[in-house]
Structure 1
């Protein structure tokens, strides 16, 4: 597996160090105690949705599959662990042969989830499963947060396209993952070329204010851009005076001008004025693109404005106020010995402070009403009721260490549209509220 496909620098040989120190010390202690090979089940879930959110979006599953497949302790990684005395020699020997050989089940990427949903289930020995906690959580927490924000923005935008342009507002590797998650959640393109290269997402971009300021006159900048990129380009018209810039843009490009971009001011008012001016100048097909710190609320407020597309940066890549989903990775069942025929016993943390868990290997299904609209997320540990057999949500992702299937982003993107459409209408309301359907435990 090429590590560049994971959004990693090319000199990073594996994902094995995307973990926490204590996962390796737990492994060392379990190996010494003779409990490391006990069959175990870990589950990823969140106890609550981010405040005010009505549904979550599963994103990052494809990246998790790549990360698990590439989780290898090569000589350079082992040398680092030895130099730092992170674990003893016996544990290093065990890590040298590490290959995940267990099973992973999970919600399909693009699906929606709710509090308590067992979004991913990792099964194998304690030793091989515990090491994957941090890398799985870091991917799912980040990507699902971005995808949820993107989904809300996409819902607010309706049929108008959304451009992801937040690379400069976050870490350079997080930017690539954010672009992927945004595309999953409903965005149509990205400004980030690395995301386009790694994931095939359409890329767009023309010029910034610096290009206009480079030239002696705004007219010169527009002429240079049109000469280079053609009349269908997008001209940035708010560097100086918007009205004058629009007039100049149409004079240079003619009515075939592709679009103008507005990046400041009262976007609602300016968009109406620019639309009227463009129409009066005969540029009736010229589109208006707005940017400038947009979020889902600002996008919704522009629903009645003559806007054709939105560019979103900071608010998207920070999850629009919720940069993580607070997902956890908990041991929910384990055997009493290394014997693979031993039954699994439910285990769970029991404590105060709202951090209790429910033990047992779980299934999940979504119950629908007579109109085919979701009415409950049903989670259980016993037999699946007959009426929910064909509504189960977890699918087999990895079997005996082998990835079963990878999906294209377009497939995942379409799944999310379908999953969101099957929720009650109130799911797309931007007002604060509880999860749009309850989670029932059986």
Structure 2
């Protein structure tokens, strides 16, 4: 996969500078101390879900794999570090040969997660693992937040398709990642051509109000669009008077008109009026698409409206009020020494203020109730209880530095649908509440949670 596939500017040859400076200064100090090569285990988790959310969605895993694979320090990057005197020459020499050679395990992309879920585990030397903290967190925090919002919106929409159209509301590179995450969360298409090009997501789009305003008459704009795109196109009908526009649209395109789009006003009321008008004009197959600052609550409020599809922008790409998942990347175990085969010992942050963590290399499994629905997220260290052995969640993503788990985006999307369907029905409620299933810790920590 080349740089363009990562959503990077073409003049950036690697992901190595998508990092915070202190990761490099830690590396330098560890190299001098002789501790850099100690085998270490880092885990990505969140202490809590965003306020009111019932579940999280793992998204961005595929982008993480690409980022790790392309994390290397080429001459230009090394020159920048040398010029700024960020690290010394010994560290620069070490970085010149950097290639991640460790192992990465994680929840498969599209899976759901809960507080404490070890959604990604990175193993290798301290030196090679610590450098990946920022790039992994930046991807997972952003993409998982967007996917969670998308999941809530797709649940509210039911069988009606959702169009992602938020590119103009965020950074141009974030927009591509947001389109991908939205597709994982259940959206059907995107208006962003870069996302379609890089990830194969279906793309859609016809015209904006500017196209209508360009022409002397609304009829002329509709006729030009139909002449260009055919009768199955979508005509935007709220530039002037909606009822007049709908009448004109059907006169121009005939009853074969594909769809009309409504972008303002009381969408519930207007949709009912437009549906009645279309039917009276014989355009019974013409669909109604609504846009205009929708979120999951607005979508749910339109459940009884004769709406066929929704277009969502700002609220989606900003995580519908929660643009990050507050995931952290913590060292949970490290070897007693840098000697090969030295045993791992658990380590954990014990500071006050709700930022404690639980040490040890963890496994995770989802326990089911008698009806086959998820009832608890079970996390532990050591041996996995026999009853949970076939319910483990982590899969191998990178082995010995080589990616072993790339998969098509449609597989990820289908996995999320299945994972969400396996949760209790209350998971789809939009009202605020606690996580839909509890997190339980075994090995003497049953019922406890990291942080508060």
In the superposition, the TM-score normalised over structure 1's length comes to: 1.00
Cα shift readout 1:168-198 (whole Å, capped 9, x = no counterpart): 0000000000000000000000000000000
Cα shift readout 1:230-288 (whole Å, capped 9, x = no counterpart): 00000000000000000000000000000000000000000000000000000000000
Superposed displacement of residue 10, structure 1: 1.0
Partner of 1:135: 135
- Number of matched residues? 442
Counterpart CA distance in 1 for 2:28 and 2:339 is 20
Counterpart CA distance in 1 for 2:133 and 2:266 is 46
Cα shift readout 1:346-403 (whole Å, capped 9, x = no counterpart): 0000011100000000000000001100000000012100000000000010000000
Asked if the contact 2:333–2:359 (Cα under 8 Å) also holds between the matched residues in 1, the reply is yes
Superposed displacement of residue 339, structure 1: 1.4
User: Where do 4+ consecutive residues of structure 1 move more than 4 Å?
Assistant: none
Counterpart CA distance in 1 for 2:31 and 2:213 is 64
Superposed displacement of residue 405, structure 1: 2.3
Cα shift readout 1:193-240 (whole Å, capped 9, x = no counterpart): 000000000000000000000001101000000000000000000000
Superposed displacement of residue 80, structure 1: 0.5
Superposed displacement of residue 334, structure 1: 0.2
Cα shift readout 1:387-439 (whole Å, capped 9, x = no counterpart): 00000000010000000121100000000000000000000000000000000
2:315 maps to 1:315: yes
Counterpart CA distance in 1 for 2:405 and 2:344 is 27
Superposed displacement of residue 71, structure 1: 0.2
Counterpart CA distance in 2 for 1:112 and 1:161 is 21
Superposed displacement of residue 340, structure 1: 2.4
Counterpart CA distance in 2 for 1:357 and 1:259 is 52
SS in 2 for 1:288: strand
Cα shift readout 1:298-319 (whole Å, capped 9, x = no counterpart): 0000000000000000000000
SS in 1 for 2:42: strand
In the superposition, the TM-score normalised over structure 2's length comes to: 0.98
Structure 1 gaps of 5+ residues are: none
Partner of 1:280: 280
2:424 maps to 1:424: yes
Cα shift readout 1:289-339 (whole Å, capped 9, x = no counterpart): 000000000000000000000000000000000000000000000012111
Asked if the contact 2:59–2:140 (Cα under 8 Å) also holds between the matched residues in 1, the reply is yes
Structure 2 gaps of 5+ residues are: 443-452
Q: Quote the RMSD (CA, aligned, Å).
A: 0.4
Cα shift readout 1:98-130 (whole Å, capped 9, x = no counterpart): 000000000000000000000000000000000
Asked if the contact 2:154–2:162 (Cα under 8 Å) also holds between the matched residues in 1, the reply is yes
2:383 maps to 1:389: no
Counterpart CA distance in 1 for 2:9 and 2:77 is 15
Partner of 1:126: 126
Superposed displacement of residue 97, structure 1: 0.2
Counterpart CA distance in 1 for 2:340 and 2:165 is 50
SS in 2 for 1:256: coil
Counterpart CA distance in 2 for 1:20 and 1:47 is 22
Counterpart CA distance in 2 for 1:212 and 1:339 is 72
Superposed displacement of residue 153, structure 1: 0.2
Counterpart CA distance in 1 for 2:214 and 2:79 is 50
Asked if the contact 2:396–2:405 (Cα under 8 Å) also holds between the matched residues in 1, the reply is no
Counterpart CA distance in 2 for 1:90 and 1:339 is 21
Counterpart CA distance in 2 for 1:297 and 1:339 is 56
Cα shift readout 1:9-66 (whole Å, capped 9, x = no counterpart): 1111000000000000000000000000000000000000000000000000000000
Partner of 2:222: 222
Counterpart CA distance in 2 for 1:337 and 1:82 is 30
